[in-house]
Chain A
């Protein structure tokens, strides 16, 4: 399995993702620069967190026009797996690979804390190794993570079961206090209709070792790796 992790000017979690994949999970990773073309065989491309282009104008608005994004869009259209974390999620929404948008947190403050997430769907590669209703612990750290979509889009997301993760309390129940940013319907992560593009605000790469307080993030990466291994075995 080959992972590619893109660095944009202003990315700051790119090394966290590379380190988690390599050191914690023993995966093969190639670091990619935003000005490069996307060449080579990859199974999953990761758009990491940070503040690409200083978050000027809107988060992710400029990164969308980085040269490598053309390749990422083609890769996604041909069924390749794309994972956008935090700023990466914002970029995927701006690029139109995921519906909706991420706006300023309802309480205006930057939030940096551990959150509990409930797995809502498991028939996407990103959550394939998990159970519906399973609880995960992962941190969030963002100022603009409030997921917004209009009523028609939300209806489609529900109908197509594209909402993969929701913020919940430690018992797994939906609660306003457990929603760190005011996201509509406590949405923490969604996939596209093709189920091969996933964006989430929480950081799985910061939850891959005991030292960081949770190893639940590894369950997302391991799900992806297992799904790719299964796909490869079917194609042999």
Chain B
């Protein structure tokens, strides 16, 4: 199964990268852009007997390593091949 994982900073955590990107977009004339937040994106393949099993494992992987629960949230999409 193919998995896409999105990790983003929690609301309230300062995101200087997002701010800098937003300023650049404004400089380019995209003044309608607001609230830019930079995050991380992972793709991986996982062997699992079922979608539920894969979900369990991916949640564990995110909690343990891919995201730091103090500052980050995550969500993921699982696609059966």
Contacts and interface: CB of A to CB of B under 8 A. Distances in A.
A104 interface: yes
Contacts of A94: 68
A65 to B, nearest CB: 8
A103 B65 contact: no
B14 A146 contact: yes
A103 B13 contact: yes
B68 A148 contact: no
Interface string A103-133: 1111110000000000000000000000000
- Interface size band for A: 20 to 34
A93 interface: yes
Interface of A: 57-58, 61, 65, 93-94, 99-101, 103-108, 146, 148-150, 182
Interface of A is mostly: loop
A57 B16 contact: no
B14 A61 contact: no
A108 B20 contact: yes
A107 B68 contact: no
B3 to A, nearest CB: 17
Interface string B10-47: 00111011001000000000000000000000000000
